[in-house]
Amino acid sequence: MGYGQAPWEFSGRALYQLSLVRVEEARKYVPAELPLVNFLGWTLGGFYLARYDASPVGAFDECVALAGLAWNWPTSCAWAARVFVNNKEARDHGISAVGLPSRLAAFSALPELAAARGGGGGGGGKRRGASWWDVPHPRSTRGGGAQGSAAGGAGAPTAALELCNSEPGGRGRGLEGPVCVIDMPRVLAAWAPKIQMSLPSFSGATPDHPPLLKYRLKLTAFVRPLAPARVSFPAERAEGERRSDEVLDAVLGGCPLLCLAFDGMRMEVQPPEVWQPRGATGGTPAAA
């Protein structure tokens, strides 16, 4: 099937959470040519979690781990440390066409009764409103409808989302344990303004796409704030994975500042172009 010719169009909804991440951790994923926005040793990272009901390859889920805010005057852009998708065509397109460190992933909804970990979204206390994850794809009967997603079972409300890197073998790209567990925020009916944005995006500097790339996306959505989602990690990692770049605890486990919901989202992505940052004189980009 493939993505076909650009521009590529997507529709669905997303969560965008901004967090404070240590600059020394973010730098492991951001090419040396790109300076990071730095405030007393911290930069802005977080995650972007999307549920697309339509795309060039149909419905799928995506989670982008954002290492930090790269700066190239007069613009800045969140740099993707990893992109997790549960669609092989989306993974292959990200790697070959957009220069993204994409991985196949499984998105599993943990039901409220089974995920009682205390605090956050795990169970303690009375909870009101639907879980963001439980709003279904239009082509699905409930949350977790895309291939590779799993609902919590028996219609139980979702407490959290378990994200697993299911990349098969090769280059150490897979993980035995989950990447993380994200407590799902509750969604209450509320008015939200419709916002249009045109944003630059940077990518590349991967073994499959060494040059730096720049592309632009246009996005329209109803935007509203939600309570920040808590992100947790396995207590123990496999011996050979503790220092792997696939372990993103330091990036995803930053101090949350703001969580935004993008409802009724429509996004148009332009094709990437090879790009030289202002003032860059070369250097070795971060491998992904």
Is the confidence at residue 258, as pLDDT, over 70? yes
Q: Is residue 231 part of a domain?
A: yes
Residue (of 106, 87, 103, 104) closest to 3 by Cα position: 87
- pLDDT, average across residues 243-250: 91
Contacts for 118-122 with beta carbons within 8 Å, 24 or more apart?
A: 119/230, 120/183, 120/229, 120/230, 120/232, 121/159, 121/160, 121/183, 121/184, 121/185, 121/229, 121/230, 122/159, 122/160, 122/183
**For residue 284, is it within any domain?**
no
What is the per-residue pLDDT across 194-226, written as a single tens digit (0 to 9) for each? 999 998 899 999 988 899 999 999 999 999 999
Specify the residue for token string 């796409």.
209
Residue 285 lies in a domain: no
Rounded Cα–Cα distance for residues 94 and 91 (Å): 5
Whether residue 288 is contained in a domain is answered as no
Domain with 98 in it: what CATH number?
2.40.400.10
pLDDT bucket at 44, cuts 50 / 70 / 90: very high
Higher pLDDT, 1 or 41: 41
**Residue 192: what pLDDT?**
93
Give the model's pLDDT for residue 128: 59
pLDDT band at 113 (very low <50, low <70, confident <90, very high): low
Which domain, by its residues, includes 69?
8-274
pLDDT of residue 174: 77
212 inside domain:
yes
Q: Is residue 117 in a domain?
A: yes
* Per-residue tokens: 103: 């991985």
Looking at the domain assignment, is residue 1 inside a domain?
no
| Average pLDDT estimate for 169-174 | 63
Q: Range with the lowest mean pLDDT among 71-80, 115-124, 234-243, 256-265?
A: 115-124
Structural domain contains residue 241: yes
pLDDT band for position 17 (50/70/90)?
very high
Number of domains in the chain: 1
